[in-house]
Amino acid sequence: MWTGPDPAGTRYTTSSTRPNVTVRADSLGNPNVASPDQYGWYDVRAFAAPALGRFGTAGPGVAVGPGIRLMHNSLAKEFPIRERARVRFEILASNSLNHPNWADRR
């Protein structure tokens, strides 16, 4: 997303100052890099601000972000007490491997 003056002219205002809106940028090429790392997941030179009077061409999801490594575990055991009664012991673990999972910024 790109934030700045309204290039498409779709926001009506009686003020002489153009409103600031968020629109899509123009896509100039493939933003995905061959070997992403923590310093860069996409090429910022693949995007530009749209020209006045038009909307941007970049669609959602054109840049691929970091993957997610997540493991949830559970262990459960049921013990019968009577014919219609049972006791259940359960252990749950979220993100068992404790990997950091970075969110994509939108």
pLDDT tens digits, 23-70: 677 788 888 888 887 777 788 888 887 777 777 778 777 887 777 888
Which domain does 41 fall in, by range? 2-48
Query: Does some domain include residue 57?
Result: no
The Cα 57–Cα 74 span in angstroms is: 45
Query: Does some domain include residue 7?
Result: yes
Query: Does some domain include residue 98?
Result: no
Torsion (CA) 53, 55, 57, 60 in degrees, nearest 10: 160
Q: Per the structure, how many domains does the chain have?
A: 1
Q: What percent of the chain has pLDDT over 90?
A: 18
Instruction: Name the residue with tokens 């068992």.
Output: 96
Query: Does some domain include residue 40?
Result: yes
